[in-house]
Structure 1
Amino acid sequence: MDQFNKDINNFWDQLSGPEIWTLIGKGFLKIILIIIIAAVAIKVGKKVIDKVFMSRQRGPFRITERRENTLKKLLHNVLTYTVYFTAFIMILDEGLGLAIGPLLAGAGVAGLAIGFGAQNLVRDIISGFFIIFEDQFSVGDYIFTSNVEGTVEEIGIRTTKIKSWTGEQHILPNGNVTQVTNYSIHNGLAVVDINIPYESDFESAEKIIEKMAIELPDKYNEIIGTPEVIGVQTLELSHFVMRVITETLPADQWAGARIVRREVKERLYREGIQIPSPRLVMYTRNESPTALEVDGEKKKLQERNED
């Protein structure tokens, strides 16, 4: 019992003494200092990376803007991960006074064991490397992959962030990016089908659309070449379908199609060609269609005579 009381007293003396609090204070200050240095290093490092890419724009070796944005974001991520990991090791060593050597040795053995269970992580990192190395897509590209469609915001070491046109952000592991449709590499092709009633003349409608098409490239930036009337695509019950195609900027084929539809609709209406619409003819039980037509003709004759 006396020994226990002595141990308690010794512990209390050490806890209330200035030495331990001085040691804790120094460790706390070291941790704060390491965090501040890490934050400054990340900020300065990102600025250095940005300046390096700006200087390359004026040099003999240049890369495309989409490629530049991808590499900058990737280097920013690598810098952040590296600085944070280094800061964590320094906090354990300098701030908490832990022996890093045995800890790293143990981490190496444990990492070997964990590596067998972290195959997906390794696959994501390797897939991310090949995405960037092969230039499958870059930041700012509009793509479709893994049932997700949108604009690439960031390509990281492990994941890719895609923002859909409705605002949602999708985060995909790089290993899941197996098949990609990239709409931002080549020019797009807008395909528009226009319904023309049989009462209208095909050649007249074609000339109206061709005359309108000449004005579109100068009027809209999305449209590159003059829209071309391919001809009659299909024959329906009450109308025939005329197909118009036009070349657009990459990923602007949908906007180009909307522009062509609007301009064609306005021009056809102005020239007196109506877009066909469904019609409903109703008959009564006591009257045949022939009788209705005769009555209709009589009413028209009466109206003409009155006029």
Structure 2
Amino acid sequence: MIIIENIKNWFKNFKFTFGFLVKCILVLATLALYFLLIFGKNFFDPMNDFWRSINIFGTAGEYNVILRLISYAFFLLGGSSIIGFLLKQLSAPMKKGRAIIFMLASLIKYAAVIVLFFFILQALGVDTTTILAGIGIVGLVVGLGAQPLISDIIAGIFIVFEGVFDVGDIIVASGFRGTVMDIGIRTTKIVDAGGNIKVMNNADLRAIVNMTNQLSLAVCDIGIEYGESLERVEAVLSANLEAIKKAIPDIKEGPFYKGVAELADSAVVIRFVAKCEEGTKYQVERDMNRQFKLLFDNNNIGIPFPQVVVNEPSTFEDATRHEQRAAQQFVAEQKELSKGIAETDIIGEK
């Protein structure tokens, strides 16, 4: 098993390294071609066979068809890939508008493929002007059965210009929750927390839930024992909520005490909510669980767990008059502060 695992790891590393080297070679070859197209006339005789073949802008003399096709491919596909890469890198610091950049990069790529197709026909001696004049570009696209493609393109344009979502936004689409990593002219790529990538046609993106535009709600439910004085617990919370907020920097608003959420079989469940960015929501919930557990431990507040009681039940402290007044004031304040913050169904899984 160890040998097989080592072979798999070696093959995975080799595949990554080989792919990286191939990309580097293709980029260097593309840059070399652009250099020759710009400065080649200073190095080659105008009638040189190699120069005439790779010079896609030249029309004089015969040329090698294979070299001309390779030159077309590197000039269009290689150039469009480099331009797309640079556009995406330049858009990385942007918080908004990245979708337009990604759409433009995708459009350049597809346009390069279409132009290359006609250049290949031209290099093979096919009269492309006759083809275009005879059927027209629109007739060609529709004739190839590309109606779904047109729908995807139109949907992609509306997504970008209506600002439905942007690259980097966290959305829920068809039950799949993830971060938008790419918006193309035809498809959109979404990656979830586990690294799984879902590719969806733009026309199939319906009933989108954008989790990024507004702050999300982190909900924390904690059970306390029935024997605990609820007023004493609320008094402890009143004195420590601000410290918990400082301990969790990702909290934007709150945490707020919402009161008793449930009278469960063996616990009184109390609820806390806090507003945060969608990307930190689940971590904030975990941090809140930790902070409230530490707070309850430090104040001898029992958190129930399944057990068989074979001895006398524990005694619990009663709230003092001061704690009762503090609890009443705290509950009233929290109700006022958290008005308009309603717990909703949580989308996705932790």
The 5 Å alignment of 1:83-102 reads 83-94=112-123, 96-102=124-130
Query: TM-score, structure 2 length as denominator?
Result: 0.64
Equivalent of 1:82 in 86, 111, 115? 111
| In 2: Cα distance, 1:257 partner to 1:52 partner | 34
Matched, 1:220 2:248: yes
Q: What do residues 18-65 of structure 1 show as CA deviations (whole Å, max 9, x unaligned)?
A: xxxx999611221122223224532564477569869xx9xxxxxxx3
Please name the residue that 2:179 is paired with.
Answer: 151
The 5 Å alignment of 1:208-287 reads 208-280=236-308
AA in 2 matched with 1:118 = A
Matched, 1:141 2:169: yes
Matched, 1:33 2:71: yes
**SS across alignment from 1:227:** strand
| In 1: Cα distance, 2:119 partner to 2:100 partner | 28
Equivalent of 2:146 in 98, 118, 137? 118
Does the C-alpha gap of structure 1 residues 219 and 238 become closer, same or farther in structure 2, counting only changes over 3 Å?
Answer: closer
The CA deviation at 1:73 is 1.1
Query: TM-score, structure 1 length as denominator?
Result: 0.72
Please name the residue that 1:9 is paired with.
Answer: none
Equivalent of 1:67 in 96, 112, 133? 96
Asked if the contact 2:91/2:98 (under 8 Å) is kept, the reply is no
The 5 Å alignment of 1:155-194 reads 155-194=183-222
Asked if the contact 1:160/1:174 (under 8 Å) is kept, the reply is yes
Asked if the contact 2:160/2:166 (under 8 Å) is kept, the reply is yes
AA in 1 matched with 2:202 = N
Asked if the contact 1:216/1:226 (under 8 Å) is kept, the reply is no
AA in 2 matched with 1:74 = M
Please name the residue that 2:31 is paired with.
Answer: none
| In 2: Cα distance, 1:104 partner to 1:278 partner | 77
| In 2: Cα distance, 1:195 partner to 1:52 partner | 49
Does the C-alpha gap of structure 1 residues 68 and 33 become closer, same or farther in structure 2, counting only changes over 3 Å?
Answer: same
| In 1: Cα distance, 2:85 partner to 2:276 partner | 36
| In 2: Cα distance, 1:167 partner to 1:44 partner | 25
Q: What do residues 163-187 of structure 1 show as CA deviations (whole Å, max 9, x unaligned)?
A: 0111110001111111011111111
| In 1: Cα distance, 2:306 partner to 2:88 partner | 60
Root-mean-square deviation (CA, aligned residues, Å) is 3.0
| In 2: Cα distance, 1:265 partner to 1:102 partner | 77
Asked if the contact 1:188/1:252 (under 8 Å) is kept, the reply is no
Please name the residue that 1:301 is paired with.
Answer: none
> Radius of gyration: which is bigger?
1
Please name the residue that 1:6 is paired with.
Answer: none
**SS across alignment from 1:243:** strand
Q: What do residues 244-285 of structure 1 show as CA deviations (whole Å, max 9, x unaligned)?
A: 111112443222211111111122122222211223368xxx
Does the C-alpha gap of structure 1 residues 35 and 248 become closer, same or farther in structure 2, counting only changes over 3 Å?
Answer: same
Asked if the contact 1:66/1:141 (under 8 Å) is kept, the reply is no
| In 2: Cα distance, 1:212 partner to 1:107 partner | 75
